[in-house]
Chains A and B, each alone.
Chain A
Amino acid sequence: MPTRKNRRIDRAELRTRLRPSATFSREVIAEIQRAADTGIYDIRGFGAKRRVPCFDDLLFLGASMSRYPLEGYREKCGTGVTLGTRYASKPLELKIPVTIAGMSFGALSGPAKEALGRGATLAGTSTTTGDGGMTPEEREHSELLVYQLLPSRYGMNPDDLRRADAIEIVVGQGAKPGGGGMLLGQKISARVAGMRDLPEGIDQRSACRHPDWTGPDDLKIKIRELREITNWEKPIYIKIGAARTFYDTTLAVKAGADVVVLDGMQGGTAATQDVFIEHVGIPTLPALRQAVEALQEMDMHRKVQLVVSGGIRSGADVAKALAMGADAVSIGVAALIALGDNAPAFEDEYNALGSSAGYYDDWHEGRDPVGISTQDDDLAARFDPELGGRRLANYLNVLTLETQTLARANGKSHVHNLEPEDLVALTIEAAAMAGVPLAGTGWIPGRGTF
């Protein structure tokens, strides 16, 4: 028998003996090594990867002695949403309370943008342009298209404004409230460069502030200008990253928004510094509560519609967001996954990029083997927009069915009838943030006396 000293330790034993540091975890060590190697911060796509209090920390109570359920399959449970009822003469009528968030052509390939339009249209909802302008493909394949007005104003023009079904003024994004877009040289193809009026191949950093207004008083005038140009027809949304949400929502309403789009810190991005993604902004859960409180305080809840995004994955998330007071939700990363992003079938190619299916987040590099987050024609050609659209529609249908299931379980004949009283929280944090009682108690931390 070998002595303790000279015996080789096998791997299994090693794992039981080595003690990882909580402070210097393996990810932290790897990041220090990466920083020392390269001298530049980590840029990546996807949303925050840390765990934050979220909709998983809430539960529905369901029906019981004091509440009537609805029959699961037969009894009607409405899912329609109207966005933009405040000033616009042509509000958007959506069949489902889930929309597709703004993702730029540039970050995504032309076929991927087309697929988002196809999927949204099949499911009866809207999709959104992004930093970089409107492509003819996405307009053609999107029954309802929201046109973003961003600080960069890439490709902005009055014809596309008039072609749009709604206009979304982007003030911020949950992944990087206060940060501008980023599109690295690998993805600035001739077409992207042309649409943005920039040289090919440069690392492009979009402005983080709007060029022609600075505060809510200016914005109010800006919104009127947009309405004047589009004949007061189109709903005007204001998109904010979750930060000082109560005040930001209040100011958005005062500036004249028809719809407030609120994006929590978990929200996805195509390319942002990791430090920004993980450390700026507040999670969707508390932000949503604050936005609803702001709307209620102004007597504008349901008059100015609220669309919430940032980490929406399932019908449970949708239903909980609606119960907390959102009118609809919006999805980014989940929609890309539905299209085929991070598919296990591409494991070998992900490995070749130093990643793995389920982990791939280097969307900024433009080498996406699935052909979604790329501007490389050969890679983009791998992606079938028709199939992608059908997959997205399937996923949207599942989200809707799940949302209806939960609504009926709580005895609601429309998903908008879900209410905070249907919810409880599993943790004290979530109870405080969402403003619903800790399960089994009447306690909402931060409200009333103990």
Chain B
Amino acid sequence: MTQVFDLAANSTRELNQTLQRANGGSAIEQWRVVNPNGAHNLAVGLDAPSRVEIEGHVGYYCAGMNKYAHIVVHGNAGPGLAENMMSGLVRVTGSASQYAGATAHGGLLVIEGDASSRCGISMKGVDIVVQGAVGHMSAFMAQSGRLVVCGDAGEALGDSLYEARLYVRGNVAGLGADCVEKSMKDKHKREVEQLLAEAGISGVDGAEFRRFGSARELYNFKVDNAHAY
């Protein structure tokens, strides 16, 4: 049964305490959170497979460090959405501000609108699917995981990238240091299509995406690369 939590009547502290009470428990809790009003730090530190629907816009760090939970924001999200997420699912039906999915280690982050700059910065294993566009310096120093962008990507995509795999369908304004386009093989097309399916996005053909990754030229200090450091 879905329980309702009203942020007009209760504080962020109470919300997180309430949601975190499920941490370690077995029963799947279902919550509808109303009147978020752009508040920061909502539904952070969850550690159980709860289902949380937030009805409205959220501020900074919503769903931060999430483990196991499925959190859906029916609205837009402020900076640091799902930062350092470990597992589970975070979805926003609107757009997300800077550093969505920053340093996240696992799970799936779906942004149905656009993501601002530095989407997937230093990502460490998370999968991020953006239905719209991403801003500049997305996947900066991204270490692992996959970023799928159905729209365009801004300047300096994948700057100083490590092993993360980037897929973009639209225009790429520019690539960052050590980020190169790589060939799109069948297995990559299948990878994109599987991620789109997991994200619940239909009507987009995996073959329309281009793949980007690390040239691995900056992995070790080389005098000849001094211009790039």
**A interface vs B, CB < 8 Å?**
38-40, 152-153, 156-158, 161, 184-185, 196-199, 201-203, 207, 211-213, 218, 221-222, 224-225, 228-232
Q: How far is the CB of A225 from chain B (nearest CB, A)?
A: 4
Whether B47 lies near A211 (C-beta < 8 A) is: no
CA A212 – CA B78 in complex, angstroms? 11
Closest B residue by C-beta to A185: B220
Q: Which single member of A198, A201, A211, A230 contacts B102 (CB below 8 Å)?
A: A211
Q: How far is the CB of B55 from chain A (nearest CB, A)?
A: 20
Q: How far is the CB of B179 from chain A (nearest CB, A)?
A: 16
Q: How far is the CB of B202 from chain A (nearest CB, A)?
A: 31
CA A230 – CA B118 in complex, angstroms? 26
CA A329 – CA B41 in complex, angstroms? 33
Whether B103 lies near A199 (C-beta < 8 A) is: no
Q: How far is the CB of A210 from chain B (nearest CB, A)?
A: 9
Q: Which single member of B64, B141, B144, B162 contacts A225 (CB below 8 Å)?
A: B64
Between A201, A207, A212, the greatest number of chain B beta carbons within 10 A of the residue's beta carbon is seen for A212
CA A225 – CA B80 in complex, angstroms? 11
Taking A157-B105, A199-B219 as contacts, is the C-beta distance between A225 and B61 under 8 angstroms?
A: yes
Chain B interface category by residue count: 35 or more
Whether A225 lies near B60 (C-beta < 8 A) is: yes
Q: Does B76 contact A (CB under 8 A)?
A: no
Whether B79 lies near A212 (C-beta < 8 A) is: yes
**Stretch with Cβ within 8 A of A (4 or more), from B2-10, B25-33, B121-129, B184-192:** B121-129
CA A196 – CA B86 in complex, angstroms? 14
Closest A residue by C-beta to B99: A212
CA A197 – CA B47 in complex, angstroms? 22
User: Can you report 15 A-B residue pairs in the complex whose CB atoms are below 8 A from each other?
Assistant: A39-B223, A40-B226, A153-B122, A157-B65, A157-B86, A158-B45, A158-B67, A158-B86, A197-B124, A197-B144, A211-B121, A212-B79, A225-B60, A228-B45, A229-B44
Which residues on the A side are within 8 Å of B103 (C-beta)? 153, 156, 211-212
Between A152, A158, A225, the greatest number of chain B beta carbons within 10 A of the residue's beta carbon is seen for A225
Which residues on the A side are within 8 Å of B99 (C-beta)? 211-212
Which residues on the A side are within 8 Å of B102 (C-beta)? 153, 211-212
Q: How far is the CB of A213 from chain B (nearest CB, A)?
A: 7
Scan B191-221; emit 1 where CB is below 8 A from any A CB, else 0.
0000000000000000000000000000111
Closest A residue by C-beta to B104: A153
**Chain A to chain B: the 9 pairs with minimum beta-carbon distance, closest first:** A229-B45, A153-B103, A39-B223, A202-B219, A212-B80, A158-B65, A212-B102, A211-B102, A211-B121
Closest B residue by C-beta to A154: B124
Whether B220 lies near A156 (C-beta < 8 A) is: no
Whether A197 lies near B44 (C-beta < 8 A) is: no
CA A221 – CA B41 in complex, angstroms? 8
CA A184 – CA B121 in complex, angstroms? 22
Whether A221 lies near B40 (C-beta < 8 A) is: yes
Which residues on the B side are within 8 Å of A184 (C-beta)? 221
Which residues on the B side are within 8 Å of A224 (C-beta)? 40-41
CA A301 – CA B110 in complex, angstroms? 46
Q: How far is the CB of B159 from chain A (nearest CB, A)?
A: 11
Whether A222 lies near B61 (C-beta < 8 A) is: yes
Taking A197-B144, A203-B221 as contacts, is the C-beta distance between A221 and B84 under 8 angstroms?
A: no
Which residues on the B side are within 8 Å of A196 (C-beta)? 143
Q: Does B93 contact A (CB under 8 A)?
A: no
Whether B223 lies near A229 (C-beta < 8 A) is: no
CA A229 – CA B80 in complex, angstroms? 15
- Taking CB atoms and an 8 Å cut-off, the chain B residues in 129-184 that contact chain A are 140-141, 143-144, 162-163
Q: Which single member of A199, A202, A213 contacts B80 (CB below 8 Å)?
A: A213
